[in-house]
Structure 1
Amino acid sequence: MKLYYSKGACSLAVRILLHEIGVRCEFESVNLKTKQTETGQDFLTINPKGSVPALLLDNQEVLTENAVIQQYLADTYKATGLLPPAPDFRRYRILEWLNFIAADLHKGCGPLMKPALPEEIKENVLRPVLNQKLRYLSQHLGQMAYLCGDPFTLADAYLFVILSWFPALKEKWTDWPVLSKYFSALKARPAIQKALAEEGLS
């Protein structure tokens, strides 16, 4: 397998998951501006959508979309602690959080990191919406160690990456003490430390 990634992007969640499961994988970075990989390939021939992560499987199939790749890895390698099999209802709670992170948090963060977007729009329109989502998240995590109680699941890996963008988002950890505590605890996990070190983010 090969994971196409970009440093610090949401593809970091898949890298974390690979290490949590203990799956061997190659990694190739992608310049998202030029759409070139580090070996000079045209990334659009690999993923026409031009986004990471993209996972090249041993059968030469390419799987895209973060939440789907995570489910595929957990199911394929029977990582039932990270994602229980159907019909275990806990599976759907984890997928519920995964969808919230992808659709609400991830999409809410992107525009705030675009330099060309006027600050007035960011602060008066976009940030209040994101902060509403973060308040909901903070209230939930104030009652448990992980998103779905114990143990750590693939949704926590994805959320860790979103929270790692706080400096770029100009969010202050002091405004979010519950999220800060959660983030620090996750950062101590060996799989996360390894993933961060590999991308030069530790």
Structure 2
Amino acid sequence: MKLYYSPGACSLAAHILLNEINVDFDLERVDLKTHQTEKGADYYEINPKGYVPALEINPGLILTENVAVLPFIAQHDPKQDLIPPSGLGRAKVLEWLGYLNSELHDEYAVFFNPQVSEEEKERGYVTIDKMLKYIDDYLGESEFDYLVNDRFGPADAYLFVLTNWSNVIQHDLTPFKNIVALRNLVAERQSVQIAMRDEGLIP
């Protein structure tokens, strides 16, 4: 498999999960401004949508969108720890991925528009805080350390990556103690440390 990625983008979640399942895979960096890959390919020819992640499963067979890519990678975990194979547990993973992808991701994305106004930023902070409070309250009431059960999975990786963007947009996560605790758990994983080093995000 090959993962097309941009450092620190939402493709980092797929990078983390690929490390978790311990398979051989290739990485190819994408410049999201020029839409050229590090090998000089036109990224639009690989993924006409133009954004990451794109997972090349076999030559010419491309899977996109985190709500599809992350479960696909997780189901290849030989220990079967990353995602329940069926039933309510799997549905809950997909529920969280849907929320993170369509709601929280979109609100953070507002800040990466170079033409965003100060007024739009202020509204964005309020909306992000509202969404994070929902997640934080959920975690506070849950008997588990992770979003779905007592095991790390795709939704945890995705939440970790999205909330990393708080550092970029000068957004304070400290009021969300349960999210911070989850982030600390995730950050300790070898798969995360390797992915972040490979993408140049940490030394």
For the superposition of Structure 1 and Structure 2, which TM-score range results when normalised by the shorter chain? Answer: over 0.9
Deviating 4+ runs (over 4 angstroms): 76-79
Partner of 2:100: 101
Q: Give unmatched runs, 5+ long, in structure 1.
A: none
Partner of 2:69: 69
Distance, in Å, in 2 between the alignment partners of 1:152 and 1:72 is 15
Distance, in Å, in 2 between the alignment partners of 1:182 and 1:89 is 22
Contact kept, 8 Å, 1:55 with 1:69, in 2: the verdict is yes
SS in 1 for 2:63: strand
Distance, in Å, in 2 between the alignment partners of 1:47 and 1:20 is 25
- Give me the CA root mean square deviation: 1.5
Q: Given the two structures, how large is their TM-score scaled by the length of structure 2? A: 0.93
Distance, in Å, in 1 between the alignment partners of 2:20 and 2:30 is 23
Partner of 2:200: 200
Percent identity, please: 40
Q: Name the count of aligned residue pairs.
A: 200
Report the Cα offset of residue 128 of structure 1. Answer: 1.6
Structure 1 residues 59 and 29 mapped into 2: Cα distance closer, same or farther (>3 Å)? closer
Partner of 2:118: 119
Report the Cα offset of residue 194 of structure 1. Answer: 0.8
Deviation string 1:18-50 (CA, Å, 9 cap, x unpaired) is 011111100000000000000110000000110
Opposite residue 184 of structure 1, the aligned amino acid is: N
Opposite residue 8 of structure 2, the aligned amino acid is: G
Report the Cα offset of residue 60 of structure 1. Answer: 2.6
Report the Cα offset of residue 162 of structure 1. Answer: 0.6
Distance, in Å, in 2 between the alignment partners of 1:17 and 1:7 is 15
Contact kept, 8 Å, 1:113 with 1:168, in 2: the verdict is no
1:140 to 135, 138, 142: 138
Opposite residue 112 of structure 1, the aligned amino acid is: F
Q: Given the two structures, how large is their TM-score scaled by the length of structure 1? A: 0.93
Partner of 1:23: 23
Distance, in Å, in 2 between the alignment partners of 1:128 and 1:185 is 26
SS in 2 for 1:49: coil
